[in-house]
Structure 1
């Protein structure tokens, strides 16, 4: 596990690169978008709320980045929206250098997506599984090495994949459901890399990451939806005392997206106190996350649920 002193100043220049960041309007996604743009990339801000995305775009542009920004509608809780976003992206862009599967929901009361999936599993995992599958050709057709970066959480370590009740219909615990979705993120990232390797696709890398404990709006959404002021104030106090900033929490994702050398199938997180804060480093995820049989079964279930089949055949010719 290599410790680093890596910061945004360590990022390479990204002029001419196109990056998609889901959930780019706030928190980790906003900070990553800001850093990518400062280094010269064209960033597609894939967001559910267009109003807040436009506000975020204006704020970043006011800082005079060398890169450019584009807002695009993406609701990861709707497979139709995921497909429409991908179709529109491919029609308007020749290249895709980095896909950051970042957006998510955390520890909310049980709700369902438009397609009837439990919200945390549906948005955090299935939406990104579908999005990556739809954009795989764009990643493969782009000259040079491209990357898929999937944001997980240290909470994945308590996760299990309940194949008998993936949608938590028989029993629901908000933290268990969140942990399942975050374990699914890591299993997906590793299995994607294994499938790329098996197909001799050596110019697309799949990397997982986690932010440690970063102060973002994500923590307050669960208490807000429960209507619990006590939990909301408790979460705010924890953020103030323990958490690192969202900008610091975005560093593992930025490292996974841009740092060299890095290999597909790696896991990046902060290397400081309890892996909750600090500079990014290569780490080990939970033992269960390396279970290839479980990962393959999750992949098959995800393909069946979303109707998205990945094509790992002959690489498209690049002109």
Structure 2
């Protein structure tokens, strides 16, 4: 690299964008504190003082036929997780209202399984209609490999964002899942974007991938025009195929968040599972590249509290009031 990390950060602030094929080796070894300072400057330029907070509810749990090695909800694993069909819409509504009243920006229904279909998909639409009618919180969904018609119907009832992680690099993906492909993921993301939905997509680090895989994932998400990128640190769950993976070091998580900001300067880099791996429950990350977080109860790993997150933001001079992940022009640009 002919320029320093801080000089690269300024170039990005001035409009330069990192592309596939660029030499990214320096991200692996450069001084972490300098990298974090640059990421913080880029974050301030594009996300200002705004931090987007979202929450999720596990709308249908367990018995998933997919064999993702990290997942407690896979039927291929024996983790003792609660299993239940799609929740009553009243329960989902109550949870959404609680999160809205607590001050969160958005609320998502997440369901286990390859795709939510049939009667359960209709129940999900009913739940979204009920929330859209009375609540103001932004509505999101994560329901697997849906088709164009399903995305359109979700959009009609008020869903504005769809979550669908690519999980890792294309190279490493077959090492963590064999029942669907990386290309299946990309195809679904593009269908959702064509409908006009903002896509939230990121992945998990610490599954055995290397630094090149993490960098490749960051580049791939930039190429897909993703505006919300959750970064999960693997929390090995007993009974899954990755239960014996060592915990990823905090420094590796922080480095990943920082270079994701360089490569995706305008996106919301979202803290997700594994926040407790980082210093002060991710507090430093909010000044070093992260501009969003999942808050409240997580799916199958320990999360953080809404009250705690709002206190952190206040302490840092940040706010979750204001801009969304995207604007209409950005969504349309991603679809075209």
TM-score normalised over the length of structure 2: 0.35
Give the structure with the higher percent helix: 1
TM-score normalised over the length of structure 1: 0.37
